[in-house]
Amino acid sequence: MNMQGLSLDQAPPYKTPLFYYMIGVFYLILFSISLLIYGQTTEDRFYYESIAITHILTLGFFTHIMFGSLFQMVPVIIGESYKNVAFRAKIILISLNIGIVSFVVSFLLDIKIFMHIAMLFLVATLLYFSIYSFVTIYKTVDKNQTVKTFLTALVFLAMGAIFGLFSLLVHGGYIEDSKFGDIHFTFMIFGWIFLLLSGVAYKVIPMFYVAKEYPIFVKNYFYIITSVLLIAIAFTTAYHFNLVLNALKILLAILSSSFALITINILKNRKRKRVDTTVNLWYFSMLNLFIASIMWIVSIGFNLELGFSFGVVFGLGFIYALINGMLYKIVPFLTWFHLSSAFIFDAEMSQVIKAKMMKIQFYIFVGSYIFFILALFYQPFLFVGATLFFASSSLLLYNIINGYKYHNLLSQTNKIQG
């Protein structure tokens, strides 16, 4: 795969994405603990505890991983480097965490001053990162499909942040309208996360799995069709055109399920047939995306409130599993890349994170997923699922830390020998 002539000077310091990853997985552990504490007392997604728990996962885990990955991947797969990235990444990290902690405290303890702090830091951080990344990526001469998809995702990140601000103003009692929260959710989940992950998939799957490229039509038009649907959904949500809104949501669900099936087919027909944990995570993720899409269509058709079950299948089964699989490819790759760029040629990607440890973590995660589903029928199983997810998250953190240690060990050994 073309790496755009990347040199070490273009990439951020190795510790920049790794710190984002480690802090992100720490929030994943906090997410598990919050489920153990509040899981059985939150019966509705509008409960303050539910909002706090959800954002520990989305802001705490998803955002850290995606920000850290963009800092590393933009120079690699697009060929444009972030300016002054070491310093700016630290400022973004600090500001983001002040915002997240304030947000969670404000909703769990109902202290408005923390909500004000969260508004300031989260909106400022998300807007700054989206503009910073947009300007960086836009400079590239080759405006290919991945570039266009990334740029579109960053626009939705900015818009999602603005609607998130309006949603916080609703919770603060300054304005009255729940539509802002729904638009914020749609833009962040589908416009930011889903589009960004699709853009990454266009590059990662052919590169790491020696598979065919996604169909040209998908790469050229998926982000456009998705964007049009999301804007239309936002408009119909704002003006309460419920029949049209439901039809648009069904179209979005069909689009999502189609992407899942296309990805599964590409992976199934890949040239490198060896099965590893990352492949299983991709299959697991896409299967859950397909199931979640069907669930969404059924819930619209029969006017059902899925709530927790949809959150498990879509949030954990699809998004989390996919990010987990990407981490197990990105961390070994960037570790090898930084070491080889420093002329340390005995680095091996297979040794950064042990395959056995990946497999164990994956199995524990699947176990937690099963118990989360069973909790729909017998609520005490929620504690079993949360406990297993805590174990899985802790092992994921352990694996990433071991990758960091592997880099430091070879770096120090090379200095001593030199």
- Please give the residue range of the domain that contains residue 358: 274-411
Residue 230 falls inside a structural domain? no
Residue 399 falls inside a structural domain? yes
- pLDDT tens per residue, range 347-367: 888 899 999 999 999 999 999
350 vs 68: which has the higher pLDDT: 68
Residue 383 falls inside a structural domain? yes
Residue 369 falls inside a structural domain? yes
Residue 311 falls inside a structural domain? yes
Tell me what the pLDDT averaged over the chain comes to: 93
- pLDDT tens per residue, range 120-172: 999 999 999 999 999 999 999 999 999 999 999 999 999 999 999 999 998 88
Confidence of residue 39 (pLDDT cuts 50, 70, 90): confident
Residue 139 falls inside a structural domain? no
- pLDDT tens per residue, range 273-310: 888 999 999 999 999 999 999 999 999 999 998 888 99
Q: How many domains does the chain have?
A: 1
Closest of 198, 197, 167 to residue 185, by C-alpha: 167
Residue 65 falls inside a structural domain? no
Residue 295 falls inside a structural domain? yes
- pLDDT tens per residue, range 71-119: 988 988 888 889 999 999 999 999 999 999 999 999 999 899 999 999 9
